[in-house]
Amino acid sequence: MYVETELGTQLVRWRQHLHRHPETGFNEHRTADYVATALEAMGLQVQRGIGGTGLVASLRVGPGAGVIGLRADMDALAMMEQAPGRPYLSQNAGCFHGCGHDGHMAMVLGAARLLVERRNLSGTVRFIFQPAEEHGRGAKAMIDDGLFERFPVDEIYGAHNMPGIAAGSIATRAGALMASEDNFVIRIRGRGGHASRPALTIDPLVVGAEIVLALQTIVARAVEATDAAVVSCTEFITDGIRNAIPSNVTIKGDTRSFTPEVQLLLERRMRELCAGIAAAHGASCEVEYTHEFAPTVNWDAPVAAALQAARAVVGPERVAADTPPLLASEDFGAFLRQVPGAFVFIGNGLPGGVGGLPLHNAGYDFNDAILPVGARFFAELVSQRLPAPS
C-alpha cells in the first residue's frame, strides 16, 4: 500500500514544509499562499480570502452537473513542539501542527493532483482549505462569507488522522460522529474578609465548590442514560490570598453532547443550579454559556459513498463502518449543517508505534505513510460520486 512513488515523495515534501511553517487560526497567510501556489501549479484557479485566510480551487471536467467538496483544515496549535532531532521541526516558536492539519492539507493537495492528472470524472470538484478549525470559528467564517453561495456543492467530505487506529485504516459511521462543544464561565460574587473571621464573609469558595460538585449531577441525573454528555470544570480562579477569603470566584469549563436537545438541557440545568446554590448562600452568580462547535453528524448516503471508496482503496478488512462516536469536537460539523456530507477518520498508528502519540501531544507527528491513503481515498470518492461517461 505504501509503495514509494513520485506522488508519495511530493506528498511528504508538502506535508513537511507545512509542518516547518505552522500558523494559528486566521493567521494562515503563509500557509494559504503555499497551498494556493501548489494548486495553481496544477492549473487550477484559486479564490483566496474566503472567511479570512480560507481558499477554494475548482476543477471542472466533462458535462456533469454534480459538485463535490473536499475540505482540509489549515491552522496549527499555539503550543511548543517537543521533538528534538526532528528534521522538519516547527520554525515558528510556540506554534506547531500538533493535530495533523499539515497532513490533511497534503492529502487534499494529493487528491487534487490525482484528479487533475486522471480526469476520470464528469462534474466539478471544490478543494476547500479552511482556516481556524481549532477554535471552531473558521467554518462559520467561510459560510458567512458566502462559501456555498459562491462555490455551491452537492456534498462535502473531510477526514482527520486518528492516533490509536491502525495506520491507513479508515473508520466512520452514519449519524453523530463527533460532539458539540459549549464553553461556560461562571462568575460568583460573595463578600471577602479575613480568613480568621469567616462568619463576616460570604465565602465564594464554598459556593464554587458546591457548584462544581452539583454540575456533575447534570449528566448523572438529568441526561437520559442513552444519551452521551460530558460536563467538565477545568479552571477555578479566585482573587483571594492565603489569609484572606476572596470576594470573587470564576469557574471555567466546557460541555460536550451530540444533539441540540441535550445542549439546551445542559445549559438550562447549569443556570438553575448556579442560581439556586448562590442564592442559598447569599451570593450572586452569573453564567456565560457559548456554543463553540456544532456536533459532526454524518449524512447516510454520503457515509455509504465514503465507505465504498474506502473499501476500494484500503480493502474491506481495513474499513470500520460503525466506529464509536467521539466526544471531541470538529469544526466540519458546521458544514454538515449546511450541505450533505461525511467525515472519516484515517488511522495514524497504534499506541507505541509510529503515529501512535495522541493528538495535541507536544511530541505528536503526522504519519507520512498514510498520506497516499488519504489522497487516493478522496480521489476515489470523487470519481465514484462524479463518474465519467462510459
Domains of the chain: 6-178+295-385 (3.40.630.10), 180-293 (3.30.70.360)
Nearest to 35 by CA among 98, 132, 112, 90: 112
In degrees, rounded to 5, the angle at the alpha carbon of residue 86 between the alpha carbons of residues 84 and 90 is: 90
The gap between the terminal CA atoms of the chain, to the nearest Å, is: 28
Q: Which residue has the cell 511553517?
A: 21
Residue 5 is predicted with a pLDDT of 75
Contact 168, 346 (CB under 8 A): yes
- Residue by residue, pLDDT tens for the chain (390 residues) are 333 479 999 999 999 999 999 999 999 999 999 999 999 999 999 999 999 999 999 999 999 999 999 999 999 999 999 999 999 999 999 999 999 999 999 999 999 999 999 999 999 999 999 999 999 999 999 999 999 999 999 999 999 999 999 999 999 999 999 999 999 999 999 999 999 999 999 999 999 999 999 999 999 999 999 999 999 999 999 999 999 999 999 999 999 999 999 999 999 999 999 999 999 999 999 999 999 999 999 999 999 999 999 999 999 999 999 999 999 999 999 999 999 999 999 999 999 999 999 999 999 999 999 999 999 999 999 999 999 998
Q: Which three cell numbers stand for residue 6?
A: 513520485
Residue 34, H or E segment: helix 29-41
Contact 365, 158 (CB under 8 A): no
Give DSSP secondary structure letters for 335-381. HHTTS-EEEEEEEEE-TTSTT-SPTT-TT----GGGHHHHHHHHHHH
What are the angstrom distances between the C-alpha of 155 and each of 67, 216, 302? 7, 39, 7
- Cα 324 from chain centre: 17
Contact 310, 1 (CB under 8 A): no
What are the angstrom distances between the C-alpha of 61 and each of 40, 123, 281, 284, 339? 17, 5, 69, 63, 22
Q: Is 27 exposed, middle or buried (0-12, 13-18, 19+ CB in 10 A)?
A: buried
What are the angstrom distances between the C-alpha of 254 and each of 62, 75, 180, 327? 48, 22, 10, 12
- Residue 150: other Cβ atoms inside 10 A: 11
Separation between Cα atoms, residue 65 and residue 260, nearest integer Å: 34
